Structure 1
Amino acid sequence: MNSIQLEIDLYKTFAENIPNSAVLMFDKDMRFFFAAGEELRRNHYNPEFMVGKTLQEVVPEKSYQALKLCYERVLNGERIQSETNTGTLVYINTFIPIQSRATGQYYGVAISQNVTDLQTTKQQLAESESQYKLAIQGFGAGIWDLFDVNQKQQWWSPKFYELLGYEYEEIEPTTDTFYELLRPDYVDKVQEGVQRHMETDVPFSMEYPLRTKSGVYKWFEAHGQVSRGENGIPKRFVGSVIDIDARKRAEQLLIEKEQLFSAVFQQTFQFVSLLEPSGKIIESNETALRLRGLTLEQVKGLYFWDTPWWNASAQSQQQLQEAIQKAAAGEFVRYETEILASNNQVFIIDFSVKPLRDSEGKTLMLITEGRDITALKKSQREAVETSQILLLQNKQLEDFAHITSHNLRAPIGNMIMIADWLTKTHDDNEKDFLIQNLCNTASKALDTIDILAQILRVRKDLKKEQDVLSFAQILQSVKNTLSAWIREADVTITENFEQAPTILYPALYLDSVFQNLLSNSIKYKSPDRPCQVQVRTFQENGHIVLIFEDNGLGIDLTHNRERVFGLYKTFHNNTDARGVGLFLVKNQIEALGGHIEIESQPNVGTTFKITF
């Protein structure tokens, strides 16, 4: 429950328990939002009918203007008391302004209490009309009368005794008795208040705790009025008390809850703000303000999306606006987004907007909450990347084992057989032939060992120093290396690196990727058309993507897609083809967490997509 609703509920609870009364509560438009009390029906008013109606819609025209002026004064913070005598009934009317702690808005409470029984008290005491007027002037249910200010003897009404839990005249009604019942820390305060009233006619109106018969202190509100003799000297002091214990305890509970809320609100590690339904900031907690180095004065009253937290992007501001609109309509909204800290560091937060609604479903305010999940998201990302690397490394180990067993077994087995034949032959020509075959086989085995060494080197260099590299500069370096070949093949190379001009990467690997892909484009160019190569980069889902496209011979991927990046896999009758380049490129890229894809059609060309 928000503090506004709690305040209203507390006042309603208090009002519903005032006996012999009519209680009305109204807002700034003089529209009644609470009506209760038996005295309303006694005067032919229906409380249920009055709720939701304005003052003008309820009271007769002849009474409206006077009441309107009275209500306006109350809504400006003034407390008013008056008396109404219908001839048969006497009412004390009290108009009380109540200011909301949450908004500063004034509400009004009108209490009309039937005090007709005071006439009986007047008759019983055989007091003058002056005494009666003074008694009812102190609005309340219990009456006290210090009929001689120079004496300590008083008179207390039966209701006064009842409020204290005593039978009528069970204890002596004296000034000393009163101060004995008064809680010690209030004795000086009450004495000072009485003295000030006697000397200056400053209204006597105080709240103080009195000890009841049960020994428990209860809170009372007292009002009194002194009467003076012809010489102006105080003569008589009459007043009333009402039981406000429930109200005071409710107020204390409200204060404690507000303090608790403030402590939780300010000390929580979450980023919390309270907004108007329109999105304007009412309050932001210290955690949120410290994050951006702000004060509440700098952001209060601003639209939430216009504050420095949301300068990360126009997209995040638009998303926030839409979330606030949905929440204002009653929907709970939650999503992940980014905000900026004071050093422009980007934080990822689990963000939500929750509407706070009244009993009728109207949105009173919005509660926004952001929980920093930057470290969590980083850990999740690293866990995924680690998992992917482990899967990749397992696959590479399988490939490595396969290459070792398959590509070395055959040449080594062949070398053993040739060596065996050499020991058995005596023909010189056959020996020369076998020796030549032995050399070729050994060369092939050495080539395989060299490739395996390169693979091992790639895995060993996973943490190789990375530099900020220019794609254009790397491409130019490779073009310089292959310049004679490019000129001889009449290759046209177009490039576009505007969307992603640089990358953090090991220079040796990026150079190897460009050189292998460009040399393949030249090596497998179509004899039917000039060789054209297009190289470009762009950003996609937070990653840099390199596209390498040519219009060469192409590859039939229907049957060869799984073999494209295999060791010693070739697809054209090219004497220079070894089937090693794409195998190394794939290993180098995947070793650093990237991946490579291929699309190709025979006699159309080939496109490689590398995501770093």
Structure 2
Amino acid sequence: MKILPPSVHLEKLSRHSRDILCTLDQAGNIYFINEAVTFILGYSPEEVVGKSNRHFVHPEDVKSTAKTIQRFIEAEHPEAVENPIIENRCVHKNGQVIPMEWTATWSPEENFLFCVGRDVTKQNQVRQVFHEKVEVHRALAQQGADMLALLDKDAYFTYSGGSTAKVLGYAPQDLVGKSVFEILHEEDAQRAQEVLEQLATSQETIKVSDLRIKTSQGDYKWLETTASNQLDNPHVNGLVLTSRDVTERVLTGLKLQEREQHFRSLFENSPELIIFENPEGVITDANPSFLTYFSLERSSIIGYKLANFLPPVAAASCQAKFIEALLGKTVAFTLEVEIESFSPRVFDVTKIPVVNQQVTTGVYSILKDITERVQANHELEQLSLVASKTSNGIVIMNAQGQIEWVNKGFTSINGYTLQEVKGKRPNDFLHGPNTDPEMQKQITAGYRSGQPFTEEVLNYKKNGEEFWVKIDVTPVKNEEGQVTSYIAIQTDISYRKEAEKEQLLLTRELYEQNRDLQQFTYIVSHNLRAPVANALGLSNLLPVVDKDSTVYATSLANLKASVLQIDSVLRDLNLILSIRDHRNTIERHKVNLAQKCHQTVESLKESLQASHATCSLQVPEDISVRGNEAYLYSIFYNLLANSIKYRSPDRPLHIEVKAEQNTDGGITVSFSDNGLGFDLQKAGNNVFKLYKRFHKNADGKGIGLFLVKTHVESMGGQVEVYSEVNKGTTFLIYLK
């Protein structure tokens, strides 16, 4: 074999190489280039040699190429050049841009840069395709629904990616180096440990459902995970986990399960009778209430059709309604049926279809025994027929006291029709301003007691007219003793009440006349008899006594005194009779209390000053009362005069008069002093009686307080007294 010199080998290698081999001087001029320049750039070597490399480099890469060449030239050692590979673009003779990759080394001995260039068009295309695939994979991993993770053999994260950040809120670096058990719910730790042990001995992919993983916010998400052991794969060296967020599905399932449990609980514990029939009409379930009601065992009804237990007519009716329900419609109907071992029964039946994805998968039948209600309604209709013919008002109310029916008698008495009062409570529209609140409370208590009761109450008709009515209320109860309705009977007793009122008025007048008669008897027996007897005795004495004697003069003076005493008693009698006769006929009009008080004080001004008394009037100027001016003046005058007359010698007299408006529209007048006072217990019922006195050391006839009480009552008021010996007395006068 002929051995060729190295120069020949180099010359052949240069000629047949597919890479460009060239040398450049320090200025960047091409000193040598091989034939590959024709294959890559379309130029012959002759066209290139002697020219600057800039003629063939892409204009945008000229500067960077020149800097790189200079970096090679300035390097002390070729191996010291960082990144000895140069990438730039050259321009083909036909104008096409050719991407090139160069390796170069500078030879200080020859002052040449030796370069090798390669067309990397195909490599760039392959690289671009690879890059695009990498980007697609990255996009799928990051934007897809799955979370990706690698664990080492001890279950520590070595990689985290995919949708982990979006779903759990962890950046990739947050989990690397952490144990999976740090973010795993403690209740799922045992199951996860079992999966890891299974992975250690198996190369099969394992799917794990419903694991709870803590998010970066501290709450938990439900994940479905697929795990694979790739510890023996040198390119992976880990446990590969692919997870998907199934929180919504799991929570929906839990809610569905909870609803199913609730429904099952309702089904099992409902007092109503419930069965479930499949599309063929076969009973597949029955609740305990149904089995108990019909005294059946589950085995005796499950797997059979409802028609098997019903008479032909009822069975046909139920079957027709069942077919309607199968079409997706809820059906309600009443079923009258005679079942063996049962008396005739009436049921409210509701058939409810169960529809799943527009397909009816079965029908629930709910039965409610309304036999007693139907019978009660029938009896109620009969009662209504009777009630409609009576003149008394009859009201039927539900358990809440709301009116369901009234008869014509009610309308005749009250003026309201059934349409106007249905759904209302009688108290809402029959009671008015003068209805006794305590009676309203008693009626409410009667309803709540659940027992029959009778009351008499003042009601109001639709036209506003007052009338008295007696109500007899009877509650209607079911078998459990619960009130289901009320029946109330109204009787108009206005005529009776008017008669009672007139009788009461007559009795009062008789009482007052009897009281007056007692007063007259007292006056005649105590105040009139003595002076009359004295006058008679003296009149018999005077004719037989010498007119010039002292006995005659004394007897005549005594006779005159007796006559004056008789006159005083007769005037008192006349006053009493006058008050009695005008008691119901006195004129009343609006009287200003403040003015009347000032008038009374002014009339007793000298007496008040003489007794060094002070009088405090706390009566608002705007307070007035409907009354008789003379009576009001008499009341204040007598009370004020008594305070002066019965003042205490131990302290200055102080009188205080107050008046205030009451909530009911009336007026309360308080008259107080710090005088002698009297023993109220000892005085008893004699305080306001005629000729009763409680202070022996003071002048008085005992008629003032009698007049005060008589005048107050004549105006429809009341008077009360409170007194304590040596402390004072207070009179409270209530006026309307």
TM, length-normalised to structure 1: 0.53
Give the counterpart letter for 1:455 in structure 2: I
Matched, 1:457 2:578: yes
Same amino acid, percent of matched pairs: 26
CA distance in 2, matches of 1:590, 1:308: 35
1:144-185 deviation per Cα after TM superposition (whole angstroms, max 9, x unaligned): xxxxxxxxxxxxxxxxxxxxxxxxxxxxxxxxxxxxxxxxxx
- Name which of 345, 350, 355 aligns with 2:465: 345
Contact 2:653–2:673 under 8 Å retained in 1: no
Match of 1:357 in 2: 477
- Structure 2 residue 638 is the aligned partner of structure 1 residue 516: yes
- Give, in whole Å, the separation in 2 of the partners of 1:583 and 1:283: 58
User: Which residue of 510, 518, 521 maps to 1:398?
Assistant: 518
Pick aligned residue for 1:107 from 303, 327, 334: 334
Deviation at 1:442, TM superposition (A): 1.9
Q: Distance in 2 between matches of 1:557 and 1:373?
A: 43
Q: Secondary structure at the match of 1:93?
A: helix
Per-residue deviation, 1:547: 5.0
Q: Distance in 2 between matches of 1:500 and 1:474?
A: 11
The Cα shift of 1:448 comes to: 1.0
SS of structure 2 residue aligned to 1:405: helix
1:607 aligns with 2:727: no
Look up the match of 1:577: 700
Determine if contact 2:314/2:337 at 8 Å carries over to the other structure: no
How many residue pairs match? The answer is 405
Change in CA separation of 1:523 and 1:111 when aligned onto 2, cut-off 3 Å: same
Q: CA deviation at 1:428?
A: 5.2
Please report how far the alpha carbon of residue 446 of structure 1 lies from its aligned counterpart in structure 2 after TM superposition: 0.9
Assess, with a 3 A threshold, how the Cα gap between structure 1 residues 30 and 457 changes in structure 2: closer, same or farther.
closer
Map 1:216-231 to 2 at 5 A: none
1:523-574 deviation line (CA, Å, top 9, x unaligned): 2233413322335478799998765433221123454445544544444467
**Aligned pair in 2 of structure 1 residues 278, 354: CA closer, same or farther (>3 Å)?**
same
1:356 CA drift (Å): 1.1
**What amino acid sits opposite 1:529 in the alignment?**
P
Going from structure 1 to structure 2, the CA distance change for 1:92 and 1:571 (only over 3 Å counts) comes to closer
Residues 476 and 322 of structure 1: is their aligned pair in 2 closer, same or farther, counting only changes over 3 Å?
same
Per the alignment, in what secondary structure is the counterpart of residue 553 of structure 1?
A: coil
Q: Which moved more, 1:487-496 or 1:407-416?
A: 487-496
Which of 549, 572, 581 is the matching residue for 2:672?
Answer: 549
Check whether the contact 1:31–1:54 (CA below 8 A) recurs between aligned residues. no
**Partner Cα separation in structure 2 for residue 58 and residue 324 of structure 1:** 51
Instruction: Find the aligned partners of 1:390 and 1:583 in 2 and give their Cα distance.
Output: 19
Question: Partners of 1:60 and 1:465 in 2: how far apart?
Answer: 91
Distance 1:388 1:481 in 2: 36
Shift of 1:332: 2.4
Q: Is the 8 A contact 1:333 1:353 kept in 2?
A: yes
Asked if the contact 1:326/1:333 (under 8 Å) is kept, the reply is no
Q: Secondary structure at the match of 1:298?
A: helix
- Determine which structure has greater relative contact order: mean sequence separation of CA pairs < 8 Å that are 6+ residues apart, divided by chain length: 1
Contact 2:291 2:297 in 1 (8 A): no
Displacement after TM superposition at 1:337 (Å): 3.3
- Conserved? CA contact 2:413–2:492, under 8 Å: no
2:430 to 283, 293, 309: 309
Is the 8 Å Cα contact of residues 598 and 607 (structure 1) preserved in structure 2?
A: yes
Q: Distance in 2 between matches of 1:276 and 1:591?
A: 49
Q: Counterparts of 1:452 and 1:390 in 2: how far apart (Å)? A: 19
Instruction: Give the secondary structure class of the aligned counterpart of 1:95.
Output: helix
Task: Determine if contact 1:283/1:300 at 8 Å carries over to the other structure.
Answer: yes
Matches within 5 A, 1:407-556: 407-423=527-543, 424-427=545-548, 429-470=550-591, 472=593, 474-486=596-608, 489-495=612-618, 502-503=625-626, 506-527=628-649, 528-536=651-659, 548-556=671-679
Instruction: Give how far 1:449 is off.
Output: 0.9
Tell me, yes or no, if structure 1 residue 368 matches structure 2 residue 491. Answer: no
Partner residue in 2 for 1:209? none
The residue that corresponds to 1:383 in the other structure is: 503
Quote how far apart the aligned CAs of 1:272 are.
2.8
Q: Aligned equivalents of 1:393 and 1:569: distance in 2? A: 20
Query: Separation in 2 of the partners of 1:515 and 1:553?
Result: 18
Q: Is the radius of gyration larger for structure 1 or structure 2?
A: 2
The Cα offsets for residues 570-607 of structure 1, whole Å up to 9 and x where unpaired, read as 44467652332223344556678877554322211123
| Other-structure match for 2:452 | 332
Q: Distance in 2 between matches of 1:598 and 1:574?
A: 22
Q: Could you say which residue in structure 2 is the equivalent of 1:286?
A: 408
User: Is contact 1:354-1:368 (8 Å) kept?
Assistant: yes
Q: How far 1:378 sits from its partner (Å)?
A: 4.1
Amino acid at match of 1:95: S
Provide the aligned C-alpha RMSD in A.
4.9
CA change 1:30–1:537 in 2 (3 A) is closer
- Deviation per residue, 1:78-135 (Å, 9 max, x gap): xxxxx8799xx999834389xxxxxxx953224689xxxxxxxxxxxxxxxxxxxxxx
Which AA in structure 2 matches 1:418? L
Cα separation, partners in 2 of 1:479 and 1:434, compared to 1, 3 Å: same
Amino acid at match of 2:334: Y
Structure 1 distance, partners of 2:466, 2:715, is 25
Letter in 2 for 1:523: K
Maintained 8 Å contact 1:501/1:537: no
Residue 444 of structure 1, CA deviation: 1.7
Q: Distance in 2 between matches of 1:270 and 1:496?
A: 52
1:403 offset after TM fit, Å?
1.0
- Tell me how far 1:451 sits from its aligned partner: 0.5
Q: 1:333 to 1:436 in 2, by over 3 A?
A: same
Using the alignment, how far apart are the partners of 1:519 and 1:455 within structure 2?
20
| Structure 2 spans left out of the alignment, 5+ residues | 1-269, 275-285, 321-331, 341-373
- Between the aligned partners of 2:680 and 2:339, the Cα distance in structure 1 is 93
Q: Is the 8 A contact 1:412 1:445 kept in 2?
A: yes
Partners of 1:565 and 1:582 within 8 A in 2: yes
Aligned pair in 2 of structure 1 residues 566, 337: CA closer, same or farther (>3 Å)? closer
Q: Show CA shifts across 1:244-282 (max 9, x none).
A: xxxxxxx9xx98x77763354345343332222122221
Per-residue deviation, 1:397: 0.8
Displacement of 1:445 in angstroms is 1.5
How many Å separate the matches in 1 of 2:418 and 2:273?
35
Secondary structure of the 1:415 match is helix
Shifted more, 427-436 versus 541-550: the winner is 541-550
Unaligned runs of 5+ in 1: 1-28, 34-44, 68-82, 98-104, 114-250
Match of 1:299 in 2: 421
1:93 to 315, 337, 347: 315
Match of 2:726, SS state, is coil
Shift of residue 468, structure 1, vs aligned partner: 4.4
Moved more, 514-523 or 477-486: 477-486
Three-state SS of the structure 1 residue aligned to 2:705 is: helix
SS of the residue aligned with 1:413?
helix
Instruction: Provide the rounded CA distance (Å) in 2 between the counterparts of 1:500 and 1:284.
Output: 48
